[in-house]
Chain A
Amino acid sequence: MIKLQLPVSEEAIRELKIGDEVAISGLMVTARDAAHKYIHENWPDWLNPIMENSMIYHCGPVVKQHDDGSWSFVAAGPTTSIREEPYEASVMEHYKVRAVIGKGGMGAQTLAGLAKSGGVYLHAIGGLAASLAKSVVKVKDVYMLEELGVPEAFWHIEVKDFPAVVTMDSHGGSLHTTIKANSDEVAKKLIFG
């Protein structure tokens, strides 16, 4: 298990290889479909300090607001990442984001982007929402809650020992490509004999 403390350097991220298990601590931000669309249309400067040398978590949480106005995460597993494929490489490069955390992996454009700007794709376990919410120790802030709604807002969160696996690295490696190539072969045999 490799411990990653945020903010993290490009050098530390480039050392990671597919299959590495990591435990992440520090500040990161959630962003999913509507947030990525918004970024691409506006490229806001306010995201710079939040995203630089940090990570984007593809997550639409179930949250609870307390009487004093503060928030906590009740359920917070990853959502499917491939929907952000059109945006992610340029978002990571623009804001110097060192990793995205999600599920299902991403495509060729993101893989090339990881190599270019120095990033990794981290796979969290889908549906592990109750457990992963425990890793979110604090909700520091929320941005654009009114415009985007609870699942799609930017939640600036502090995590502790958040578990994930590197499935795409900055050296062109993708576990998803390997698994797919193997299952394509088996599927071909099952379908065509």
Chain B
Amino acid sequence: MFQYNEKGLKDQLLELIRLAATDLPVDVVDAIKAAQQNEPEGSAARSVFGMLLKNIDLARDESTPICQDTGTNIYLIHIPEGVSMRKLTALIKEATAEAVEKSYLRPNAVDSLTGKNSGNNIGEGQPFIHFEEWDNDTIEFKLMLKGGGCENVSTQYKLPDVGLGAGRDLDGVYKVIVDAVNAAQGLGCAPGILGIGIGGDRTSSHLAAKTQLFRKITDINKNPELAELEAKLKNDLNQLGIGPMGFGGNTTILAVKMGALHRLPASFFVSIAYMCWAYRRHSMILKANGEVSYD
């Protein structure tokens, strides 16, 4: 039976939150640096990328949030058999409230009926926590902070889509993604990263899209057909010229990550999770001896 120290784990979770909010992952920083090199000297796009890189360093050095919208806190957790999900949820909530006190997170949970902010970033459905069981004798906590601007341009299509001439195949999937990114313009804080869920029902499709965003930018899809489509989409979407912040430029999208679920014969959903350039995600592995490692 997997044991852990509750106080110790709460502090370790707080550190995971701090990292996610203030320390942009290396693969994302590398992609932004590469994008900067791909814009002409003196262009607005190049200047924007320069400011983003400075902001990334400043946030890391001073341990302050990269973006004031510290977003929906999305946890994907793998547990060994027998670990209580309720207890882990309670610890995550405790760490979340403490992270708000330390100004790592903004109080971001608003009662939809009364309009009242809960003040501690905790509320119905917030944070969002998804558990899965695995065979390892460790607990893995993956955390992503996804802001409202990019969530608002995330969307879902159902195929066929007559207006776009998009049928029930990968060519149809391609077409709706182009349409979504064009509609988003700079509103999702471009350049974005796309998580795509193909198939499933309305709920599982969106979850699949978001789960794709836990892959590193450098990760190559194991399915060769999807790997090819990811590369093609990245290339083609960058022809749209929307650029960073929608100011115009050569980089509109940093990466596309796709996954597929089985679907009903009647349904063919394509879910598009648009992530902003402030692609904040980190993970933590807790071993049985209480040690943790962060990535």
- Docked pose: A77 CA to B185 CA in angstroms: 19
Nearest-CB residue, chain B, relative to A59: B68
Main secondary structure of the interface of B (DSSP, over half): loop
Q: Which residues of B contact A148 (CB under 8 A)?
A: 117
Residue of A77, A133, A187 with highest tally of chain B CB at under 10 A:
A187
Shortest C-beta distance, A23 to chain B (Å), equals 13
Interface string of A147-184 (1 = CB under 8 A from B): 01111100000000001010100000001100110111
Q: Does B167 contact A (CB under 8 A)?
A: no
Q: Which residues of A contact B160 (CB under 8 A)?
A: none
Residues of B88-130 contacting chain A, CB below 8 A: 103, 105-108, 110, 115-117, 119
Q: Does A60 contact B (CB under 8 A)?
A: yes
- Docked pose: A186 CA to B117 CA in angstroms: 42
- Docked pose: A130 CA to B243 CA in angstroms: 22
Q: Which residues of A contact B256 (CB under 8 A)?
A: none
Shortest C-beta distance, A139 to chain B (Å), equals 13
Main secondary structure of the interface of A (DSSP, over half): mixed
Q: Does A98 contact B (CB under 8 A)?
A: no
- Partner of A151 from the list B48, B107, B242 (CB cut-off 8 Å) is B107
Nearest-CB residue, chain B, relative to A167: B247
Contact in complex: A126, B149 (CB < 8 Å): yes
Contact in complex: B245, A123 (CB < 8 Å): yes
- Docked pose: A179 CA to B183 CA in angstroms: 12
Contact in complex: B182, A62 (CB < 8 Å): no
Contact in complex: A186, B241 (CB < 8 Å): yes
Q: Which residues of A contact B58 (CB under 8 A)?
A: 130-131, 134
Give residues in A with beta carbon < 8 Å to B: 34, 59-64, 74-77, 79-80, 82, 103-105, 123, 125-131, 133-134, 148-152, 163, 165, 167, 175-176, 179-180, 182-184, 186-187, 190-192
